[in-house]
Structure 1
Amino acid sequence: MTRLTIAIPSKGRLKDNAEAWLSKAGFKLKQAGGERGYTAELKGLPEADVMLLSAREIAQGLIDGTFHLGVTGEDLLNDLSPNLSADAQVIKRLEFGGADVVVAVPAAWLDVNTMSELEAAGALFRQRHGRRMKVATKYMRLTRNFFAQKSVGEYRLVESAGATEAAPSSGQAEVIVDITSTGATLKANGLKVLDDGVILKSQAALAGSLKAGWDEESLGGLQKLLASIEAHEAAQDKKFLLAANSIPDSLLKGEGVEAISATSILVPSYLAVETARKIADSGAGPVSITSSEFIFDQESPAFKGFVTNLTSAA
């Protein structure tokens, strides 16, 4: 039997956001060995072993099958895997860590605003300087694929080891492919994003490895984790209405209504006040509206979807 292994970012905003997200779902991260430790446990999920790694290490580990689950960026998964659909699956997009992978050129290049214009500029650059223009990036595969898709061939890739946005000003490259959330850093470095130069809109994601050794124990841990996550998500979108008397059948079968009993229902949050008023007007009131932290269902759609893909990939 194999214990569920989960990799969480080891530092920065991504770690803080991942920790807060897990906490809302009922799982508190406790780091072993203090802030410098690289292992942890999830209170509420004793079935799991937790590792703290960089986002890039997590993405590579998911692709290799080193561990079962991880929180990392979609940009890294797409860049490091030659065939992501066979290596790993994004189970949940987490609504934090949002950023775009973009192609940026010096703002002074007034005549270069599209990828086709970049290709023309590359040909002119080669004619004038006797070499191809250099494109600095940490996203080698994503860049090659996107440039091929846009029919751009007049360039040479340079792997960036430091601050990619500084490459043009330091003379290391003429063009960059980098990740940006607001564009402020690019602008501060005298760069602009090409009009059609957004390669990928990325965000942090909970991803599962399709190459890891899954068995009944590890899948059981995953099911428990996803059930709580989805129960918390479901509770954010619904309200619980409790009436003093039986609710009329016509209201029990209304839009988005889930009947719990003759006197209680779940409704989408945006319909809660209107539905409560209708119940009260019918004479079944008074009616109270309450929120829940968790609403558990018998089946986790995310778990079912992952197991289906896992079976297909086997």
Structure 2
Amino acid sequence: MASLILALPSKGRLKEQCEAWLAKKGLVVRQTGGERGYSATLDGFDDVQIRLASASEIGKALLAGDIHLGITGEDIVREAAGDVDARLTIEARLGFGRADVVVAVPNGWIDVETMADLAEVATDMRRQTGRRFRIATKFTRLTAQFMRDHHVADHRIVDSAGATEGAPAAGIAEAIVDITTSGATLTANALKILDDGVILKSESCLMKSKLADWNEATQATAAQLFNRLSLDRL
């Protein structure tokens, strides 16, 4: 019988939260090959193959159709591809791993509170200095789309290799797009989130790949699994 492949985070807090969420539904994940192994079993589901991987690897595998189901952050898949909704569906939002992708500027910019203000500053900078307004981020796809949606034309995205929140103070960029959970890191770096600068409110989600090799057996297994998880979508 063909196995349904479910990918789960392999380490850290997300791994613990995923396993705790499944355990509440009566589903126990048992890692095989020791603590360093990258496969596991799911009690009561012999035809489910558990793969343990990083959150980013899970996102890529879902988008490519290499796995049937996976748990990862919405921000990861939205950044990885522009046609996410054509490749996968979000079956459940799990209530953990929450983080917002936001636009932030220095606190000292007292006249910049909205994306419209930011667009005006960017236009003025280009006109007065000939330079484009720089935005440091690791979320280049999401940032580019958000800037287009808000008509911020005179900008340049700077790929952030290090700590993004330090870019304005270091003179690398005028603003940033970064992920935040509490806002404490932004506050510590004298940055503020624009009033309408939340690009995405992300959290860990159970996702189903539309491109995976679905057949009668895997569909039936998924339906049984979703029933145990008290999810009626599939």
Q: Counterpart of 2:164 in structure 1: which amino acid? A: T
Q: Counterpart of 1:41 in structure 2: which amino acid? A: T
**Secondary structure in 2 aligned to 1:161?**
coil
The TM-score with structure 1 as length reference comes to 0.71
* Deviation digits for residues 107-155 of structure 1 (CA, Å, limit 9, x no counterpart): 1111111111111111233345432122122222211111111111111
Q: Counterpart of 1:183 in structure 2: which amino acid? A: G
CA contact (8 A) 1:2 1:214 kept: no
Query: C-alpha distance in 2, partners of 1:35/1:118?
Result: 48
Query: C-alpha distance in 1, partners of 2:161/2:10?
Result: 20
Q: Counterpart of 1:21 in structure 2: which amino acid? A: W
Relative distance call for 1:35 and 1:160 in structure 2 (3 A) is: farther
**Secondary structure in 1 aligned to 2:35?**
helix
CA contact (8 A) 1:81 1:87 kept: no
Which residue in the other structure is 1:152 paired with? 152
**Secondary structure in 1 aligned to 2:104?**
strand
Which residue in the other structure is 2:232 paired with? 301
Q: Is the aligned partner of 1:29 residue 2:29?
A: yes
Which residue in the other structure is 2:219 paired with? 219
Query: C-alpha distance in 1, partners of 2:128/2:16?
Result: 49
* Deviation digits for residues 162-201 of structure 1 (CA, Å, limit 9, x no counterpart): 3222222233322111111111111111110001101111
Which residue in the other structure is 1:117 paired with? 117
The count of corresponding residues between Structure 1 and Structure 2 is: 234
Q: 1:222, CA displacement in angstroms?
A: 1.1
**Secondary structure in 2 aligned to 1:36?**
coil
Q: Which has the larger radius of gyration?
A: 1
Q: 1:226, CA displacement in angstroms?
A: 0.7
**Secondary structure in 1 aligned to 2:46?**
coil
* Greater relative contact order (Cα < 8 A, sep 6+): 2
Query: C-alpha distance in 2, partners of 1:31/1:171?
Result: 46
Which residue in the other structure is 2:135 paired with? 135
Which residue in the other structure is 1:72 paired with? 72
Q: Counterpart of 1:36 in structure 2: which amino acid? A: R
CA contact (8 A) 1:135 1:175 kept: yes
Relative distance call for 1:154 and 1:71 in structure 2 (3 A) is: same
Relative distance call for 1:137 and 1:48 in structure 2 (3 A) is: same
Query: C-alpha distance in 2, partners of 1:64/1:130?
Result: 41
Q: Counterpart of 1:43 in structure 2: which amino acid? A: D
Residues 72-221 of structure 1 aligned to structure 2 (within 5 Å): 72-221=72-221
**Secondary structure in 2 aligned to 1:134?**
strand
Which residue in the other structure is 2:14 paired with? 14
Q: 1:71, CA displacement in angstroms?
A: 0.4
CA contact (8 A) 2:136 2:159 kept: yes
Q: 1:213, CA displacement in angstroms?
A: 0.5
Q: 1:210, CA displacement in angstroms?
A: 0.2
Aligned-residue sequence identity (percent) comes to 48
CA contact (8 A) 1:26 1:44 kept: no
The TM-score with structure 2 as length reference comes to 0.94
CA contact (8 A) 2:3 2:47 kept: yes
* Deviation digits for residues 33-86 of structure 1 (CA, Å, limit 9, x no counterpart): 333222222222221111111111111111111111100111122222212221
Gapped regions of structure 1 (runs ≥ 5): 231-299, 307-314
Q: Which moved more, 1:11-20 or 1:162-171?
A: 162-171
CA contact (8 A) 1:2 1:213 kept: no
CA contact (8 A) 2:2 2:47 kept: no
